[in-house]
A = this chain, B = another copy of it.
Amino acid sequence: MSAHVIIRVQRADFDLASEYQRLRQSTTAVGAVVTFCGLVRDLENETAIDSLSLQHYPGMTESLLEDIVAQAEQRWRLIGVTLIHRVGQLSPSDQIVFVGVASEHRKDAFEAAEYLMDYLKTRATFWKKIDQGGQQYWVDSKDSDQLALDRWQRDD
Contacts and interface: CB of A to CB of B under 8 A. Distances in A.
A70 interface: no
Contacts of A148: 107
B28 A32 contact: no
Contact of A104 (B28, B41, B104): B41
A40 B104 CA distance: 10
A16 interface: yes
Interface string A17-34: 100100011001111111
Interface in A36-55: 36-43
A114 interface: yes
A134 to B, nearest CB: 20
A135 interface: no
Interface of A: 15-17, 20, 24-25, 28-43, 92-93, 104-107, 109-110, 113-114, 117, 144, 148
